[in-house]
Structure formats: structure tokens, C-alpha cells
A = this chain, B = another copy of it.
Amino acid sequence: MEQDTMRKLNNHLGTYFIYLFLLIIGFSCNLDQKGANPPNIVLIFADDLGYGDLGCYGHPTIKTPHLDQMALEGMRFTQFYAGASVCTPSRAALLTGRLPVRFGLASSSMRVFFPWSLGGIPREETTIAEVLKRQNYATGIFGKWHLGHKDEFLPLQHGFDEYYGIPYSNDMSSVTNDWKGASLFPPIPLLDGNELIDSEPDQSKLTQAYTKRSVDFIKRNKKNPFFLYVPHTFPHIPLFASEEFKGSSLRGLFGDVVEEVDWSVGQILKTLKEEGLEENTLVIFTSDNGPWLTVGDTGGSAGLLHQGKGSTFEGGMRVPMIAKWANHIPSGSTSYALGSTMDLFNTIASISNTQLDGIEGQDGVDLSQILLGNKEKIRDEMFYYLGDELFAYRKGKYKIHYKTLNPYIGEKAQSHNPPLLYNLEVDPSEKYNLAAEMTEKVIELKKLSDKHLDGVVETENQLTKLDSVMIAPLFGR
């Protein structure tokens, strides 16, 4: 009897242990899903790459096998927008999920930061890197920053553990720029963290250097969750390809440079695969704005979209966007959903299970349910600012232009009264103005965008703070 009781007890204890064991397993799996081991995020950002510049977006001679393959294994967006049509405000929008007009990073008189700029991203703004730090992500940026190059504005002061790259555009150089200000530019700094490690670095080595740093960062952090941000210097002009890629593309030097960026994407994807991180890493590729159309065949293509960089027509702001996350994002899918780079802030916060506070991600929406294939549409409107002015507004399929500017022919902004109205789904090339036949739609959209403007409070402008000593010779000319 005693033995029997003991046996029963043992049996019971055994059962309890099995339950306990299953509970622990289940609990830790659950934690895996819920945030103890949130996915890594890799965000690759091309510079001045247009909607039409990748193979999987229809380019006839640029070969982008790695991005095409990434699209095959993930989701390709066809109505995805950069936060602005030029570099600085676009990056400000991407990293904060807020319209740059709200925090002094949009100006109609000074559109981006130059070497003589004194301003930068305000301390009060929360970057996506700072958000991910709350979840103990390792954060690295290897590439172009362009949100201020005074110490307080550099990446390490805004949520990144590591930085390697040049702090602004590669044409702001003492040697490669042929603009009238060229001789006034100081040598381009190459930074590692907050330290200047080189001046006027060999630009043909930048893409490979960013790639090497990125691969190394992944390998070092494979046991942490990590956030890797790779804002490439290219295909912004002046174009430089490494020896390996120079002359390799049918599309000429522009193609060489894009194909090297594609190679870089391939290296990152390969590393993730080799390290067994494919199923726990969301990889996103997009661009900061449309193609630079005024620089001849060294600029890209917006495909069927009208105009390019610097314009609020679609070609200026609609960009390629490809997202891959094995076993999470449906492979080979196309999303026709509206999306903005600002949404990446909210989406990444959501996927990493991070709570956003107050105005963080104020202008972004969480697109994770689109990425996971659960929803077809979330965002319903888009604001097209040029500098700090709202030039155009999209609601659903309709877009209204209050002002347009064709940077292609160097004209000044034209006001439109009545505004221009296009149905972007039917007429993505913005050819057929519907304003005359749809006066009520014009009124409806105007009311909505006026309401938006009522809620936009501008603060101290960062772009117009300039070093008077540095710019003196420029205006003295």
C-alpha cells in the first residue's frame, strides 16, 4: 500500500513535472512571440533611386537580381511614398514618423542641410533607434545621415550605438562638385562614431565599406535583437562604383552604382541566411525620394510616374519599397496599399512590441497587418510638402495639387486655382486633370487638407541656421 501510494505520488509528480515543463516551454515560446526576442530590423535606404530603377519595377537594363529575389520572397509595394521629395526632410520623416515641417526640418528656402548648416534634428524628437533602445536593440547606422553634422546632431546622440559614414550628400565636396559653391565646400568628412577618420574619402569604396560594416554588425549582434540602418550614399550624384562594378552595367555608370547597391543588399541577405536569422529579421528596402532628372543619364527614372526629385508629382515621392520577413510576410506578394516611410516608424515599433508615447510617430500608421497579409489597406491619405508648404494632398485615389513645381526646367512654383485633381489609381502618370468635372471632390479634399494644416504647428527652423563665416564668400561672389 505504501509502495503503491508512493508510486501514485511519483506518477502524479511526474505528470506535474511534465505539465510544468510544457508550461515553461509554452511560456518561453510565448515570450518569443511577445517581445522577449523581438525581430531584428534591417532598413536599407537608397538615395535618389526612382520608382522605375529596379528590375522588379520594370527597368529594362538595370539588373537587380538580389532585390528582385527579395521581392519574390517578400512583398513589393506600388504606392509607397518617401516623406519628402528631397533628402533631409525625407530622412527626418523616416526616422521620426512625423512630418518634418513640425520640427523645423522642412524649409522652402533651404531644402537640405549643407556643410555650412548649424542646425539638425532636435533633441526632443524620438528616432526609431531611440524607440528600439527601449527594447535593448543594438542599433547601427552605416551610411549617409543628413540630419545635422554638428556633434549634438550626429547619430550617436540620437539612439545609435554605432555610426560609420558621411554626414551629408556626396556632392557637398571640395573636389567632386561642379556647382558654383564647390570651391567653398570643405572636404567631405568620413566619420566613425563621433570621430573624423578621413576627409574626402574615395567614394568608389563607400558602398563596399558600408556593406562590410553592416555584415560585421549583424554577425556581432546575432544574439541580440538589432536594428541595422543602411542609408546608402548612392545613386545620388556624383556616381562612383568600385572597380568590380565599374563598366559592368548595360545602363552605364548609373546602372553600375545601382547594381552595386543591389549587390550590397545581397550580401546582407546572405549574411542573415548564413547566421540563421532569416525568420527573425524584417528587411526593408526603399528610397529617400525620386530620381534626379536634371542630371542627364547620371540620374534615374520614375518609370511611368511624372517628374522626379524635388517635385510633388508622383515621380518625386513615390518610391520602390520591398519588405521581406521569412514565414511572416507572404512571399511573392504585391501590396497596392498606400504607405509612407513615416509608417515604418510605427510599424517597427509595433513589430518590436514597443509602446509609443505622446506625439511619437504622430504622422505614421502601423502597417504590420499589411505586411503580415492580414489587411489590404490602412493608410488613406498622403501629404505632399515642398519645403514647409503643402503642395498637394491625396485622399484615397484622388490627389489635389495646390501648387506644382517642375524642377526639370527650373521653373518657379505655379499656383493652381482651381487646384489640379487626378485619380492616381486610374491615372498614375497624372495626365488627366479632373478638377473641372469633379468640383465637389475638390472641395472635399480642400476641406480635409485645410483641417490638417490647422493642426500643424511650425517650430524653430533648423535648416535656415547657417554659419555666416562659411557662407560669406558664397554671397560675396
Residue numbers of A with Cβ under 8 A of B are 51-52, 55-61, 63, 68, 72, 78-79, 250-252, 254-255, 296-297, 301-304, 318, 332, 334, 336, 397, 423, 425-429, 431-432
Contact = CB atoms under 8 A, between A and B. Distances in A.
B58 A428 contact: no
B57 A78 contact: no
21 contacts: A52-B303, A55-B334, A56-B58, A58-B303, A59-B304, A60-B79, A60-B318, A60-B336, A60-B428, A63-B334, A72-B72, A72-B332, A250-B397, A250-B425, A251-B425, A252-B426, A255-B426, A297-B423, A297-B431, A297-B432, A303-B303
- Count this chain's copies in the assembly: 2
A75 to B, nearest CB: 13
A250 B79 CA distance: 12
A208 B278 CA distance: 43
Q: What DSSP secondary structure best describes chain A's contact surface? A: loop
A296 B68 CA distance: 32
A469 to B, nearest CB: 40
Contact of A301 (B63, B72, B78, B429): B429
A389 B429 CA distance: 32
A17 B431 CA distance: 75
Given A297-B432, A303-B304, A304-B52, A426 B251 contact: yes
Nearest to A50: B304
Q: Which of A58, A79, A397 has the most CB of B within 10 A?
A: A58
Given A250-B397, A297-B432, A425-B250, A61 B304 contact: no
A426 B298 CA distance: 9
Contacts of A56: 56, 58
B58 A432 contact: no
A425 B301 contact: no
A426 B301 CA distance: 11
A412 B28 CA distance: 75
Contacts of A297: 423, 426-427, 431-432
B58 A304 contact: yes
Nearest to A397: B250
A428 B297 CA distance: 10
A296 B432 contact: yes
Nearest to A320: B58
A301 B334 CA distance: 19
A436 to B, nearest CB: 14
Contacts of A423: 252, 297
A73 B426 CA distance: 29
Contact of A428 (B61, B79, B431): B61
A78 B52 contact: no
A59 B251 CA distance: 21
A52 B301 CA distance: 13
Top 3 nearest A-B pairs (CB, nearest first) are: A58-B58, A60-B78, A252-B426
A59 B56 CA distance: 10
A244 to B, nearest CB: 20
Nearest to A52: B304
A282 to B, nearest CB: 23
A382 B396 CA distance: 43
A303 to B, nearest CB: 5
Contacts of A318: 60
A68 B56 CA distance: 11
A462 to B, nearest CB: 34
